Structure 1
Amino acid sequence: MAVALGFEGSANKLGIGVVRDGEILSNCRRTYITPAGEGFLPKETAQHHREHVLSVLKEALEGAGVKPQDVDVICYTKGPGMGAPLATVAVVARTVAQLWNKPLLGVNHCIGHIEMGRLITGAKNPTVLYVSGGNTQIIAYSRKRYRIFGETIDIAVGNCLDRFARVLKVSNDPSPGYNIEQLAKKGKKYVPLPYCVKVFDLHINIGLGMDVSFSGILTYIEERIGKLKKDGYTPEDLCFSMQETVFAMLVETTERALAHCGSTEVLIVGGVGCNLRLQEMMGEMCKERGAKLFATDERFCIDNGVMIAHAGAEMFKAGVQMKWEDCTITQRYRTDDVETVWRDD
């Protein structure tokens, strides 16, 4: 049985978790929360991780009931993510691996989300919608790689929602997206917003319709926020309208990928994936297509250490090894850069 310790710190969540052959032993997390109207910067986020990483590590080991000698492999987020937070946590993982004389594996953050989702939900070979603060991708597995069928061409949906929350001065505690979701439930009037699904790729001269753009929606809101309020639209109405628009775009593009792949499963992963309205809209689409929706709650959707531990454990059991000089970080680490040697389907 392989015991894996995973470190995650690609953005404002610091997570450390322990798994043993697919069994979650501990899943500990600390979140860097900024005042309403402010985002989180790399330097301050890295400082937060430095301040808390040792206490979270101790909590994770004690919660799992394991000692250093019980651990078989140390795993950490190699990328993608913010440079300073990634580097901070990677240094701790490298140090622990040296002190304990354990092998070290760098894990792709996106694949960590996917493998965690497959483990928790039991989805076999789903079309994946990966939605978070830094990433928006529509993914399907084929021939030893997770292939990206569609993605954002500018900002991620989570980043769009976070910046929208700043415009409205919505609290960042526990997260901007969660608070937008709660406000949206009280919204009554829909504001027509820009809807941008890219339907044609000039470079390869074929219609794809699986790429999305969110920056225009954000700009539209930023430029008209004063007028919209004067016209009687409440913050709740704006949150409702924002969610309905961006989620409709995500459902449309996921449906197109689902049809293209002939799949019968959809898996939503990433921090935005725990939004119940997104799950509801995606569930309706799946029902109409005879497909099944898989999703998890905030314990596993939001960035966490156990997803890195699990993905790293899969790599370790498949015989993956990394040279010490390769155990660095890569801010732009593509999902389709990784050969998924642990999958044989």
Structure 2
Amino acid sequence: MIAIGLEGSANKLGVGIISHPGPGKPAQVLSNIRDTFNAPPGEGFLPKDTAKHHRSWFVRLVKQAMIEAKVSTRDIDCICYTKGPGMGAPLQSVAVGARMLSLLWEKELVGVNHCVGHIEMGREITGAHNPVVLYVSGGNTQVIAYAEQRYRIFGEALDIAVGNCLDRFARTLEISNDPAPGYNIEQLAKKGKVLLDLPYAVKGMDCSFSGILACIDILAADLKANPNWRDPITNEVITTADLCFSLQETVYAMLVEITERAMAHVGSSQVLIVGGVGSNERLQQMMGLMARDRGGSVFATDERFCIDNGIMIAHAGLVAYKTGFRTPLEESTCTQRFRTDEVFVNWRD
């Protein structure tokens, strides 16, 4: 069976085509392309501008994906699209495009939860059996484990997502959004040496990032006003790289703590990291150290599957489609708020 997946919950428009050859055989990625809307340095991407980008590129990416996959409309079994969560206007643009294809090609629709798409694609690519999932992106931060045909949320961000925290600090520094603000923060952090004291806000299984962002923004303003500012303990000159290093180390330590707590609670030795922030090498390294101390292992994917993409929507949609799930045309809506644990996962025991 073959499905096309359409993703556009944020600033990335992704189109992917996947084939499920049959029981016991791995899924085959036939094509997986995307185009990113990047705002100027110091600015975030507005919903209306992002939606305009998605509308402009939708037909081109679908055509390109079909050519790359070497399939025709007759080969497609279903059209999968992101139902939510995400930004309203971009989601609507992709939902309209999905309905257009459904009517033109006379194919059934499957509305997919964006978070479940990340999880299912991560499980498929890595082979992780029943891991605790750390889902970290620009819009979501959740620690998840599967139980009784639901992906249960054990902990999450109480305010802003960790990816949003990093993106907003990139705006404070006015560094480039290309290829991604979080990636550019990561490259700067590799040059940092001084670990500054920042708020550490873990509250049980949940965490908070807005206070850390407010604090690091103040430090960035202080550094801008006094370029020769020195750390009072080490007397070393503080740099922008030190700020990025300190922010990363603090927020990732928080994520490792709540993930380890979830592992202890459910008795799992596996961690699967998904979402755009999951491609960060330092986060993977820190999580690996924790997991090895527990006799466990970490699973993660590269930017092709971590960062928002169409193939994860195609895969999650197709596994649901094979169990009989359909989204009628009149119900093919989208929503900015679609909880991970709202999805009935009837394709797992």
Letter in 1 for 2:3: A
SS at match of 2:107: coil
Report deviation, 1:326: 1.7
Q: Answer yes or no: is 1:223 the counterpart of 2:218.
A: yes
**Residue of structure 1 in register with 2:30 after alignment:** 25
The separation in 2 between residues aligned to 1:92 and 1:279, in whole angstroms, is 36
The separation in 2 between residues aligned to 1:172 and 1:281, in whole angstroms, is 25
**Residue of structure 1 in register with 2:78 after alignment:** 73
The separation in 1 between residues aligned to 2:327 and 2:109, in whole angstroms, is 7
**Residue of structure 1 in register with 2:8 after alignment:** 9
1:194–1:228: structure 2 CA closer, same or farther, 3 Å change rule? farther
Alignment of 1:249-260 (within 5 A): 249-260=254-265
Q: 2:59 aligns with which of 45, 54, 58?
A: 54
Q: 1:235 aligns with which of 210, 216, 240?
A: 240
Report deviation, 1:322: 2.1
SS at match of 2:143: strand
Q: Answer yes or no: is 1:169 the counterpart of 2:174.
A: yes
Letter in 2 for 1:53: F
The separation in 1 between residues aligned to 2:130 and 2:199, in whole angstroms, is 33
SS at match of 2:10: coil
Two-structure CA RMSD over aligned residues (Å): 0.8
Q: 2:273 aligns with which of 256, 268, 273?
A: 268
Report deviation, 1:325: 2.0
Alignment of 1:135-214 (within 5 A): 135-198=140-203, 209-214=204-209
Alignment of 1:284-299 (within 5 A): 284-299=289-304
Report deviation, 1:324: 2.2
- For residues 36-70 of structure 1, the C-alpha deviation after alignment (integer angstroms, 9 at most, x for no partner) is 10000000000011111111101110111100010
Alignment of 1:57-136 (within 5 A): 57-136=62-141
Structure 1: segments with no counterpart, 5+ residues: 199-208
Deviates more, 1:216-225 or 1:29-38: 216-225
SS at match of 1:5: strand
The separation in 2 between residues aligned to 1:129 and 1:153, in whole angstroms, is 15
Q: Contact between 2:108 and 2:328, CA under 8 Å: does it hold in 1?
A: no
Q: Contact between 2:305 and 2:312, CA under 8 Å: does it hold in 1?
A: yes
TM-score, scaled to structure 2: 0.94
The separation in 1 between residues aligned to 2:128 and 2:102, in whole angstroms, is 32
Counting aligned pairs with the same residue, the percent is: 65
Q: Contact between 2:220 and 2:243, CA under 8 Å: does it hold in 1?
A: no
- For residues 108-128 of structure 1, the C-alpha deviation after alignment (integer angstroms, 9 at most, x for no partner) is 000000000001000011100
Letter in 2 for 1:233: I
The separation in 2 between residues aligned to 1:210 and 1:195, in whole angstroms, is 13
The separation in 1 between residues aligned to 2:346 and 2:339, in whole angstroms, is 16
TM-score, scaled to structure 1: 0.95
**Residue of structure 2 in register with 1:201 after alignment:** none
